[in-house]
Structure 1
Amino acid sequence: ILIVLLLGSIAPLQLHAASFNESCRATVDPPCQALLAYRSSSLSPTIANISSLFSIPVQAILAANAFSPSDDPSARLSTGETLRIPVPCSCAANGQRSGNTTYTIAPGDFLFQIANNRYGGLVTIEEIAAANGIVDLDKILAGQNLTIPYPCSCRGNSFGGRDALFMAYVVQDGESREGFYRSYNLSQEEFDRLNPSVNLDDLVVCMCVACRARFNRSALDSNLTVASGGYAITANGCVQCNCDGTELHCTRAPTAPRNCSLGCRNSRLQIGNFSTGANSSGGCTIESCLYDGYNNRQIFT
């Protein structure tokens, strides 16, 4: 069950840039998974709408928020409801971490509405204009495709010796530092390290405790990282990995296709199962079948 943070619908201040000034080198630093805290506007979008806005699969959004894979993505969100959106975070040409998606202008749209109502204040009017070479903010055309930049952070998916995912969060009027400390289990020192010189009137980085995979290095999901309380569907839909805040627990996905081969070699066990027995010295033996990643040809155990 997802515990959502219900916040006011006051429009966020348009002050931030679509970057946390996290330097990177495109030839050295690979993309990572990051999170955006998306606050539902008065437009009451659905998860399917949000999936389209960020070009992120519905299943990935359901998983990041611990919703059931069978939940209806067409159900409307309440105004102010906040979801975690998993997004790719790359190294841009300017040597800063950032990401972007594409939005097609609908009839009646204007930039303020797109920035604040569609994208929850995660991007500003000025950032959209700069990314698309728009000079006159009042002149946009229905059907035109816009590049929408968004802020993100990687930080090596680690903070204070803990596996972590980092989430961009738009601060609302009236929110306090103490509220962030409690919500994200951070000390004041840790929060200040993540957000030096921030005045809580803008955009901040929040840390979400996560579980990072230690799979076979050749696996396509060897760098899988899942926020605590959430899960990820991997191995072409065959495997679900849940994070309990300490480590990943991977089992057959509830919606796994019938052709998934999830057994361990020389064993009757399936991924996520274990058995106990007695050995010749009178002690106990425990046999387990653990998931170790996948590639285009097989699932590793």
Structure 2
Amino acid sequence: MPIGKPTTTILRIATILLLFLNLTTVTPKSTIEPCSTTDSCTSLLGYTLYTDLKVSELASLFQIDPINLLSANSIDISQPDVVSHILPSQLFLKIPITCSCVDGIRKSVTTHYKTRPSDTLSNIADAVYGGLVSADQIKEANEISDPTVLDVGVNLVVPLPCVCFNGTDNGVPAVYLSYVVKPVDTLAGIAARYRTTVTDLMGVNALGNADVEDGDILAVPLSACASNFPRYASDYALSVPNGGYAVTADHCVQCSCTPGSRLYCQPASLSVSCSSMQCKSTNLMLGNATVQQSSAGCNVTSCGYGGFINGTIITTLSSSLQPRCPGPQQVPPLIAPPTMVTPDMGLAPAPSPFQIGGAPIGGLPGSVVPSSTGSSIAFPPSANGPSGSISAACTLVNPISGFSLAVVLVVFLGLVVPFL
């Protein structure tokens, strides 16, 4: 029997609803920072291992220095054969990357992936890189015309999300972490975990409300200590997030962010050949200080780090009069390379304290500073990998959920089918 005009109209409406449902199920979004300069910065990726990997394998996956990877997570680099240590699946780590200005927006394009048998763009995006990139973004970055045909051994550029925002947050030094939202997350929980506020996260990510969806990529500001090295230093603009470390000067110097937002640098624990780290005309080595109590206060003389210039470690001698003599430097404790994942919800972004048992929960950790009895590594709960992200700026209003549209479509079809 031929289809009449009313039936045709109904089918067209149903088709439109189905298309709309398909489009709005892809809800993840990320923050885009427009740029017009060649300046770059160091940023971080929040990444969950999809399988057991050696430190060297994980570093190779992102084309970064394995020592920098370990230092960013306060893992002791002096451990024997630490680069060959096997990190457990589902471990959450911060991955330091270089954030550049490419085609007018901030992104990292230094990561390349060599395709393997059975790889698909979706698998690479969602499983291997944990939803930090989408299949469409990989397709566009590599000008792939037919994503169903993926040859083995092809080197793909993997564009990764990052922002610089001039290395500050509300005028305070900051390093930004690109964090993929998990189903359990709330904006309040993420803010509590990283010692910031919901208001700040909403402002940084241009959110119209505090709702976040599974797979969204948030730019999370981490308070940091910034250097003042001269522009011609190879580690110019070095900035270290609170609770972490950065190794510089060819692995010779290790810097951390201490209380009071002071950058503190000392010789690294690696056995490498390094230039002199002694301050001239003194017996003080890099990171050392002398104190002398006087009637006027405490005279403090310290040997600091001034950058890595033409292969030379620059040391600077400074003297100051302080009200009281300082104690030992409070640096973040180093931890041994993790061998297992502890499912401790207190170490990962989680629902708002007011959403757990109907009452606030005190003592939510707020920074990456490890304790003497626990690990500094955050362990998100096991979950299915997010679906990826859309290469667009954050929307101000979250789209209608796919579930709601499905309900509407079922009701609609239930009403019109009897008339077909």
Q: TM bucket by the smaller chain?
A: 0.7 to 0.9
Aligned residue in 2 for 1:169: 179
Aligned residue in 2 for 1:37: 46
TM-score using structure 2 length: 0.63
Shift of 1:175: 1.4
The 5 Å alignment of 1:1-301 reads 15-16=27-28, 20-26=31-37, 29-41=38-50, 43-71=51-79, 72-93=82-103, 95-100=104-109, 101-197=111-207, 199-201=211-213, 202-245=216-259, 246-277=261-292, 285-301=299-315
Shift of 1:128: 0.9
Select the structure of larger CA radius of gyration.
2
Give the partner amino acid of 1:32: C
Residues 212, 225 of structure 1: 8 Å contact kept: yes
Deviations 1:137-191 (A, max 9, x none): 2210111111111110000110022211011111111311121121112222111
Local SS of the residue matching 2:159: strand
Shift of 1:283: 7.5
Shift of 1:67: 0.4
Percent pairwise identity? 34
Deviations 1:188-246 (A, max 9, x none): 21111012237411111111111111224432223111111111111222211111251
Residues 40, 98 of structure 2: 8 Å contact kept: yes
Give the partner amino acid of 1:170: V
Structure 2 distance, partners of 1:226, 1:272, is 16
Give the partner amino acid of 2:150: I
* TM-aligned CA distance change 1:107 to 1:295, over 3 Å: same
Structure 1 distance, partners of 2:296, 2:223, is 41
Residues 226, 238 of structure 2: 8 Å contact kept: yes
Structure 2 distance, partners of 1:14, 1:48, is 34
Give the partner amino acid of 1:33: T
- Runs (5+) with no aligned partner, structure 2: 1-24, 316-420
Local SS of the residue matching 1:294: strand
Work out the number of aligned pairs and report it: 283
Q: Which has the higher helix share?
A: 2
Structure 2 distance, partners of 1:132, 1:283, is 63
Deviations 1:18-46 (A, max 9, x none): x62211113xx5011111101122x2333
Residues 59, 69 of structure 2: 8 Å contact kept: yes
- Runs (5+) with no aligned partner, structure 1: 1-12
Shift of 1:288: 1.7
Give the partner amino acid of 2:31: F
